């Protein structure tokens, strides 16, 4: 993992927690809800990119719009993968701890 990917993942997590934290700030943000929201955003951006690629192939959309959507989907996916890697790393570290 590169520092750029880690920084993007951190920024996406902060943005996601701010979005989710607006509803119930007293109880704090649920980590599972934050991950679920990140996955949903990633799926939506990927679907949007696929739609724009199809429209561009048929001449109904501009190339720059399709390329921008694909880049956004890629960034979103890289962020989710970086978060997943950090969660797995934290889990492995906890499992190594002696009781």
Per-residue 3-state assignment (H helix, E strand, C coil) for 71-98: HHHHHHHHHHHHHHHHHHHHHHHHHHCC
Domain that holds residue 58: 3-96
**Is pLDDT at 13 greater than 80 in this prediction?**
no
Tens of pLDDT, residue by residue over 55-84, are 999 999 999 999 999 999 999 999 889 888
The tally of domains found in the chain comes to 1
Band of pLDDT at residue 38, cut at 50, 70 and 90: confident
Residue given tokens 């501009």 in the structure block: 62
Higher pLDDT, 30 or 95: 95
Q: What is the pLDDT of residue 22?
A: 57
């Amino acid at each position: 993992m590169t520092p750029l990917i880690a920084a993007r993942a951190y920024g996406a997590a902060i943005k996601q927690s701010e979005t989710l934290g607006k509803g119930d700030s007293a109880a704090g943000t649920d980590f599972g809800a934050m991950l679920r929201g990140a996955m949903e955003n990633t799926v939506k951006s990927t679907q949007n990119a696929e739609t724009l690629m199809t429209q561009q192939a048929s001449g109904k959309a501009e190339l720059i719009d399709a390329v921008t959507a694909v880049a956004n989907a890629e960034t979103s996916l890289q962020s989710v993968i970086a978060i997943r890697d950090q969660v797995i790393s934290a889990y492995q570290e906890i499992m190594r701890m002696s009781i």
